Structure 1
Amino acid sequence: MINLVIMSKSLNSIYAVNYDANEDFLYGIIAVPARKALKREKIDSLEKLSDYSEKEILQLHGFGKNTVMKLKDYMKENQVFFKEA
């Protein structure tokens, strides 16, 4: 039990060191490769994302049909949509 507490504390400190607040956009919604692709394109908000079509986003590294489907669901919850192609 003590080992678990020690391990938990060490993992928390590692996470705190590696945490980057700029990486929060869509954290937990889509995977890291897709989030990094959006970052490269300077897409860091749903408003900026809505300036792109679904087809344009699918061309980015890390985006496939499954990722786009998750993204569309999240966008719909926030009443934001891809531009029409």
Structure 2
Amino acid sequence: MTVEKNLRVCEKGHKYYKSSECPSCPTCDKAKPKNGFLAKLSSPARNALLHEGIDTLKKLSMYTEKEILTIHGIGPASLPVMRTLLKEEGLSFKE
């Protein structure tokens, strides 16, 4: 079975081919931040949060764990890391 890949162009103009609806650009994915909470997350989780506009722990704390898990690219393995990062800043997921 051959999977058809479609040409995509990200917001920054990078061209890439993807077979899924995942919006992450492979070129942008390589630009891992050197510090901040996003640097401690996997590339798919980081890109998923950024795609949703979640770029600070304060913004992350406005969501429940269940809501975060519905975002494409974030799995249960990311939650303990996020919980720890939130706790270090005196924050937590929304109840």
TM-score in terms of structure 1 length: 0.65
Aligned length: 65
* Greater relative contact order (CA < 8 Å, ≥ 6 in sequence): 1
- The runs of at least 4 consecutive aligned structure 1 residues that moved more than 2 Å come to 18-21
Structure 2 counterpart of 1:46, one-letter code? L
**Percent of aligned pairs sharing the same letter:** 43
**Residue segments in structure 2 that go unaligned for 5+ positions in a row:** 1-29
CA distance in 1, matches of 2:32, 2:83: 25
**Structure 1: gaps spanning 5 or more residues:** 1-17
RMSD: 2.1
* Counterpart amino acid of residue 43 in structure 1: I
The answer to whether structure 1 residue 34 and structure 2 residue 40 are counterparts is: no
| Contact 1:25–1:35 (Cα < 8 Å) also in 2 | no
Alignment match, 2:73 = 62
**1:48: which partner in 2?**
59
Which structure has the highest helix share of the two? 1
